[in-house]
């Protein structure tokens, strides 16, 4: 995946958005062709992640990054999704896979797209999970 247009957003899961139809692979998320990066929003029926939990991307100058996406521990989301707590998401198999990708010597950084405040305790949860690997 090339560095460029990727998205990590809470806009598709809030109850007040009216975007329920967009949380499908044929809707908004699917239109990003694997570039909707998030690791803790799941389809309530299938338990499948709505987007791609991480991406290994390469910039125009050859910079390689592993990008992770997280939404805060949101409550009051729309009826067709479940927002998994970040503390549980970092224990999922996909996170270990992302950390294996990040261990590649060609990867220069891990980028965290987090829909939360920089001083939120959940940022520390993510950083601690990265550092444990």
Quick check: 52 and 21 in contact, CB under 8 A?
Answer: no
pLDDT of residue 26: 58
Mean pLDDT computed over 9-35: 57
Q: Containing H/E element for 55? A: strand 54-58
Q: For residue 9, which of 92, 88, 70, 78 has the smallest C-alpha distance?
A: 70
Question: Would the pTM count as exceeding 0.95?
Answer: no
User: What tens digit of pLDDT does each residue of 43-84 get?
Assistant: 888 999 988 999 999 988 899 999 999 999 998 878 888 999
pLDDT mean across residues, the chain: 83
Neighbours of 22 (CB within 10 A): 18
């Amino acid at each position: 995946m090339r560095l460029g247009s990727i998205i990590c957003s809470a806009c598709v899961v809030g109850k007040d958005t009216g975007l329920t139809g967009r949380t499908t692979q044929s809707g908004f998320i699917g239109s990003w062709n694997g570039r909707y990066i998030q690791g803790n929003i799941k389809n309530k029926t299938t338990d499948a992640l709505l987007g791609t939990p991480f991406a290994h991307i390469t910039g125009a100058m050859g910079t390689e990054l592993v990008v992770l996406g997280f939404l805060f521990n949101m409550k009051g989301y729309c009826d067709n999704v479940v927002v998994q707590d970040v503390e549980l998401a970092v224990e999922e198999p996909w996170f270990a896979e992302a950390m294996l990708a990040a261990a590649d010597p060609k990867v220069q950084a891990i980028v965290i797209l987090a829909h939360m405040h920089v001083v939120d305790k959940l940022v520390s949860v993510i950083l601690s999970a990265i550092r444990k690997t």
